[in-house]
Amino acid sequence: MPKSVALLLGVHAHQPVGNFRHVIDDAQARCYGPFLRVMHGYPEFRFSIHFSGWLFDDLMQRYPEDMKLLREMVERGQAEIFGGGYTEPVLAVIPHRDRVAQIERLSGRLEEALGKKPEGAWLTERVWEATVVPALADSGIAYTTVDDYHFLCSGKTAAELDGFFTTEEDGRQVDLFPISEALRYRLPFSPAQEVVAYLEGLAKEAGNPAAIYFDDIEKFGIWPETYAWVYEKGWLRDFVEGVLASPIIRTMRYSDYRQTARTRGVVYLPTTSYIEMNEWTLTVPAAHHYADLVQESKNAGKFEQNKAFLRGGIWKNFFSRYPESNWMHKRMLSLSARLDALPKKSRTDEMRKALHEAQANDAYWHGLFGGLYLPHLRRAIYSAIVKLEHLLDSVSARGEKQVCDLDLDGFEEVFIQNGTLQIAVRLDGSASVCEWDAYRLEHNFADTLSAPSEHYHRKIHFNESDPHTGDGIANPHERVSFKDRILPEDLKADEGRKAIFMERWIAESGVEKLCYDPVPDRSRFGLSFEAQAGEGKVGKKIRLDENRLVVEYEFEGMGQGMFCAELNLAMPSCDGPAGRFRIGEDIMGGFGQELTVQDLKSLVLEDSVLGGKVSIHLNQGMRCYARPHFSVSQSEAGFEKIMQAVTISLSCRPQELKGPVSIVFGVDRA
């Protein structure tokens, strides 16, 4: 037989649940629509495509003409549609029952809309654990794709990875296709003719070899420089026509290839993801050490043979790295268990939809792409969590107080709820509020993010230049650029997790963080604490009263000094124009600005994105200093500063007060 190679070209389209409307519309204009229109013009070019369910339904509703092209390509056998979890969860970190439900929901939707039930599935972020095999098989999925790196980590050689393998777990099996890293880094960044030549070089006279590609479609139009490169300069058309003109390359859908080729044998893969993700999961300084080992291996010309054994961390490390991610994850798991415990007749589609949205992967992790640093994506998760909890409470009532160690950090939290508001108070000595939910607004006012130390921060210190040289365009994995000006003080890491009502005592002897012990409190919706401060002590009471959160401080014999309470409030508008401070009829500025009031009695935070407002009332005047809390992150657009919360510091001198201080927070709709 003449030399040939089968090109299995797959693309994956996804937008996070809760993403901005203009972002999705821009992605459609610069990527999804142009890609479908170009491919529709070449019926003989076979390929595979995956849309996450949330995005698929959005595009079907808003862009039916482009999605009609997709249906036509599926009907004529040109395009194969892949399934997966409906909201793009990392399957390995949700229960088996939810894995099956997520996959079946998307498969059913695709069959309904396109007339074809998927046989293959996209694995979110290629996060592999053998435990996902039963769920894939039980959902009717026969094969999925992971990186060739996964196979190298199991001991396979690169020369073996031009076909598919079979794995099994708990009596079920699926086939696994190894995605070529070499192709991931070439498409669409290298000139089209070079990619075609590379593909032809993979051809063999026997063995039915395959060139396997499956990666983000956003590389074809959304990533920096790619729209002009892929469409205006014609890269995609040149590539498609070059492939079709080649007597060596055969385009195939994954389903076609699997019918014509045999499995290369059984394989068992370790728990891993793609190589960049494994680095992102590591904390500093482990990430520094890992990066240095990788660079040393590259300098010695041994990286290709060593990289499978320089593995980094695993995806679940994100829960260890970021307490905010861990808290969301454990909240989601607890609600999944509550939903599963309901009688089937009490479970509703609205509950299932909210649970699935709470499982969307994007806000749980961070690297070059993950959205943990993006407040609007975390807000979407919490909105689903709070909504689901309220729905569950309507059919299965909870008590007013519950005590548990939700986040498994060794310290218990007390949840207090009155049907309108809910708070979670930490019993770690801080007596701080780490979650504050308003059910009517479906919002968590404690949803902020501490500024951690990140591995990539040292790139700023090193001032590395952009390595992009030669023909083609730069891969964002290798780019160092700046969206915002970053100063040294911006990189200062927070000492601990941000929360609401964190107190300290400032005296001539220094700054003292208050450490509280709980004291008996028999009220239905309240807790009481006491802490030593200076020469005396501070009493702290927290309670819910309808739509109000009330905190009272009582001071005894503390001597000279300053008492300060810090509140970090998540306001959805962040530093945008929709959020502002108001005192009486006076607008005092936006949340992205600093605000100082010497004798504050009342303050209102209005937020039209939230559709509500927070009113603060004090029985005695306190000094107020409000400022935006930023964190520095890296994305494909470059280094940027992202506002996470409004930090409000309320301070006073206890010796000048007339009795206890009461701070009342009221939550109302706009």
| Active site (catalytic) residues | 125, 216
DSSP 8-state code for residue 494:
P
Cβ-contact 629, 449 below 8 angstroms: no
Residue 644 is which amino acid?
Q
Burial annotation 189-223 (CB, 10 A radius, 16+ → b, else e): bbbbeebbebbbebbeeeebbbbbbbbebbbbbbb
CA distance 117 to 105: 11
Q: DSSP string spanning 553-606? A: EEEES--S-EEEEEEEE--TTTTSTTEEEEETTEEEEETTS-EEEEEEEEEEEE
Residue 577 backbone dihedrals phi, psi, to 5 degrees: -75, -5
The number of beta carbons lying within 10 Å of the beta carbon of residue 261 is: 17
Task: Look up residue 410 and give its amino acid.
Answer: G
User: Do 520 and 510 form a contact (C-beta atoms < 8 A)?
Assistant: no
Helix, coil or strand: residue 635: strand
CB atoms within 10 A of CB 431: 27
Partnered with residue 216 across adjacent β-strands are: 12
> Distance (Å, rounded) from C-alpha 531 to C-alpha 152?
56
Phi, psi torsion values for 549, nearest 5 degrees: -105, 120
The span from the CA of 326 to the CA of 69, in Å, is 41
- From residue 228, alpha-carbon distances to 192, 222, 239 in Å are 14, 10, 15
Cα–Cα distance for residue pair 665/546, rounded to 1 Å: 11
Alpha-carbon span 649 to 627, nearest angstrom = 9
Nearest-angstrom CA–CA distance, 166 and 162: 14
Tokens coding 96: 């088996």
- The answer to whether the beta carbons of residues 186 and 151 sit under 8 Å apart is no
Cα–Cα distance between 622 and 597 in angstroms, integer?
8
The single-letter DSSP state of residue 266 is: B
| Alpha-helix residue ranges (DSSP H) falling in 360-501 | 375-395, 457-462
Cα angle 568, 573, 578 (rounded to 5 degrees) comes to: 130
Q: Is 466 exposed, middle or buried (0-12, 13-18, 19+ CB in 10 A)?
A: exposed
How many secondary structure helices (H) and strands (E) does the chain include?
20, 27
Tokens representing 529 are: 């604490």
Compute the distance between CA of residue 273 and CA of residue 138 in angstroms, rounded to an integer. Answer: 23
